[in-house]
Structure 1
C-alpha cells in the first residue's frame, strides 16, 4: 500500500512541478520562443485552462475504465503534453502543448485520491488523500527550484523533458504497485453528472473556490511583497517560495489525521486559521523575519483546506465520486485565477501591495461561511448528506 501511495504521489509531484516551474523560467521561455514576457506568461494560463477543461472531459471519457487504466491514460496524456512542450518549434505549438499537459491534472488527482482512499478504507482516507497530495507540496520545495535550475543551465526545454521522465517513472510505479480496481458497477456518465449537481457537492466545490482564492490572492504577488514591503533582496525570493512549500507540506502531514477524526470541523478550523493568518500577514509582511514566518503559516493553513475538502466532495458524491473528485481540482484552479485577479484589482485600485492579503481574508471568510452553511444543511432532518466516514465507493 505504501508503494502504491508513493507512486500516486510521484505523479502528483510531476504535475505540481510542471504547473509552477514555468513561472521561474519565463525570461528563458520568452527568449527561446522570441516572444514577450507577457506572451510567455500566457503559457501559465494555457495550463490552467487545460486543468479546468480536462477534469470533467477526461473523467467523462474514463468513467467506465478500471481505475488503474484511467490513471495510466492520464499519465500518458501528461507525458505527451510535456514532451511536446519540450520539443515544440514555435510559440503556438508550445501553447497548445501546455493546454494538453494541463488536461489530465484534475482527472489524475481526482482518480488518484479515490484509489488512495479505497486502499486504506474509510477510517484513514483523509490521511491517504493527504499523502497523495503531498506530492504537490514537495514539488514546490524540490521540483520547482530544481526544474528552474535545470532550465536556466541547460535551457528551458530541459525542465519539461525531466518532468516527462518523472511522469514515466510514475507510470512504472502505478503499473507495479497500484492494484486493479474495476470501475464501480452501474456508474456511468449520467450518474457522475447527477452526483456533481448535489447540493453538498456544489457547496463543497464553491467553498474550495472562495477559500483557496485567499491563498492565491497573496501568493501571486509574493515576490513584490517580499522585496518592496519586507525589504528582502530579490535573491531571497526563491527561498521564500520554498518556505511556502515547507508550510504546505507541514499542513498536509498534520491535517490528514485530524480530518479522519472530524472532517467538517477540520475544514472550519483550517479556513478560520487561514483568514486569521491573512489578516496577521498585513502586519508581519513589513519585517523580513516575520514575513518569512507568515509565508510558512500561509502555506500550512492554505493546504490544510485542500485534502479535507477533497474527501468531503468524494463523500458527498457517494457512489459516483469520480467527476466530483476531479472537478475539485478545477475549483482550486479557478481559485488560483480568481484570487490572483482580485488581488491585482486591489493593487490597480491604488490600495497598495498589502491589499491582496485583506482581499484574501475576505474571500476566505466567504469560503468559511459556505462551509458552515453546508454543515448546517447536512444536519437538517431529511437530508441525504453522507457521514464523514462512509466509504467512498465499493469495489468489486
Structure 2
C-alpha cells in the first residue's frame, strides 16, 4: 500500500510539472511568434512585445498577491481553480482578433499561472517524502524550463502552418486533460494561516535577501531583454526563416533544460556561490558575444546553446541560495523570487521594446549583458554579507 501511494505521489508530481510546462509555454511562445502577431493585429513589434510585459507583471501579481490572499483556502481547490482560470484565458486568446482582447487574455493566463506555479511547487514538496522534497520541487520547476525546450519551438513551428491562435486552443485542450487527472488524483491539503504582508516584508528586509532578490531582477531582465525579441532579432540579423527560428529556439531550450538539471548537480558539488557566479559570468559573456555572432547562423546556434545553459544553471542554484538564508520562510522567499523574476521579465520586454523603437535591434544583446553584470555585482555583495553573518554567528557561539 505504501509503495502504491508513493507511486501515485510521483505521478502527481509529474502532472504538476506538466502544469508548469503549459503555463511556461503560454508565457514564452509569444516570443517565437511575435512578428506574426504583430502583422496579424496590425501593431508594431515593440507594441506586440508588451504582450510579454503584461504577462510578466500579471504573473508576478499571481505569484505574490494571489498566493497571499488564497493562503488560508484548501490547496487542492486553489490549484484546480487556478488551472480552470488559465484554460479560460487561453480560450479568450483563441478568439482574440483585437490587440486589447489578447492583452486581457494574457492578464488572465498570467495571474492564474503565477498562482499555480507557487502552489504546485509547494504541493510537490508537501506530498513528497522528506528526502525527496528538493527533487520534487525541482521536477515542477523543470517542467517550466522544458516549455522552452519543446513548447516554444513547437508552437513557433506550428505557427508557420496554422493560425497562431490555434496554439492557445491546443494549450487549452491539453490543460483540460491535465485538470481532469489532477482532480482525480490530487490529495486534499489544508490551507495555512495567512502571513500578513507586513510580516513578509520583514523577511525580505534582510540585506542578504534583498540584494539576492535584486540580482534576480537584473539577471532575468538581461535575459528577457534579448529573449522576448529573439524571433525578430534572428530574422533581421541572421535572416532566419520561421522554421529555422523554431530550430534555434529548440537549441536554446534544450541547453536551458540541460542547464537547469546541471544547476542542481553543481550546487551539490561546488555550492551555490560558485555555481551562481560562474553561470552569471558565462551568461553575460554570451550576450556580449551574440552582438558579433548574430550575423552568422552557426555562430548564433553555438552562442544560443551556451547562453541557454548558463542562464538556467543559475535558476536552481539561486533558489537554493535564497532558501538557505531563510529556511524557515522558504515559501515566502520562493513567492518573492518568482514574483521578482517576472517583474524583471516585464522590465526586460518593456525596455527591449523601447530600444527597438528608438535604436537598432542589434543593440539588445550587449545592453542585456550589462544588466547581467549588475546581477553579478549584487549577488556577490549578498554572498559577502552572508559570509560576514556566518562569522558573527560562530563568534557568538
Per the normalisation by structure 2, the TM-score is 0.82
The SS at the match of 1:63 is coil
Q: How many residues align?
A: 383
Report how far residue 102 of structure 1 moved: 0.8
**How far apart, CA to CA, are the structure 2 residues paired with 1:229 and 1:87?**
33
Q: Which moved more, 1:279-288 or 1:240-249?
A: 279-288
Q: Which moved more, 1:238-247 or 1:156-165?
A: 156-165
**How far apart, CA to CA, are the structure 2 residues paired with 1:121 and 1:89?**
47
Pick closer, same or farther for the CA change 1:376–1:131 going to 2, 3 Å: same
CA displacement, residues 301-360 of structure 1 (integer Å, 9 cap, x when unaligned):
11112222233334445434434323323322222233345456666675x554333222
CA displacement, residues 38-60 of structure 1 (integer Å, 9 cap, x when unaligned):
56554333323321322222112
Match of 2:265 among 252, 257, 260: 257
**How far apart, CA to CA, are the structure 1 residues paired with 2:108 and 2:391?**
40
| Aligned residue number for residue 43 of structure 2 | 36
Per the normalisation by structure 1, the TM-score is 0.82
| Aligned residue number for residue 378 of structure 1 | 386
| Aligned residue number for residue 338 of structure 1 | 347
| Aligned residue number for residue 280 of structure 2 | 271
| Aligned residue number for residue 368 of structure 1 | 376
Q: Which moved more, 1:15-24 or 1:217-226?
A: 217-226
Note if contact 1:11-1:170 (Cα within 8 Å) is conserved in structure 2: yes
Note if contact 2:57-2:343 (Cα within 8 Å) is conserved in structure 1: no
The SS at the match of 2:71 is coil
Gaps of 5+ in 1: 386-396
**How far apart, CA to CA, are the structure 1 residues paired with 2:354 and 2:38?**
26
Gaps of 5+ in 2: 1-8
Alignment pair present for 1:288 and 2:297: yes
Matches within 5 A, 1:205-284: 205-230=213-238, 232-233=240-241, 235-261=243-269, 262-284=271-293
**How far apart, CA to CA, are the structure 1 residues paired with 2:102 and 2:354?**
29
CA displacement, residues 193-230 of structure 1 (integer Å, 9 cap, x when unaligned):
43344433322221111112222233234345434544
Alignment pair present for 1:144 and 2:152: yes
Match of 2:209 among 193, 196, 201: 201
Note if contact 1:63-1:189 (Cα within 8 Å) is conserved in structure 2: no
| Aligned residue number for residue 319 of structure 1 | 328
Report how far residue 139 of structure 1 moved: 1.8
Note if contact 2:291-2:362 (Cα within 8 Å) is conserved in structure 1: yes
Pick closer, same or farther for the CA change 1:74–1:311 going to 2, 3 Å: farther
The SS at the match of 2:68 is helix
Pick closer, same or farther for the CA change 1:124–1:138 going to 2, 3 Å: same
Match of 2:89 among 75, 81, 86: 81
Match of 1:68 among 76, 81, 84: 76
**How far apart, CA to CA, are the structure 2 residues paired with 1:264 and 1:173?**
39
Pick closer, same or farther for the CA change 1:40–1:292 going to 2, 3 Å: closer
Note if contact 1:231-1:287 (Cα within 8 Å) is conserved in structure 2: no
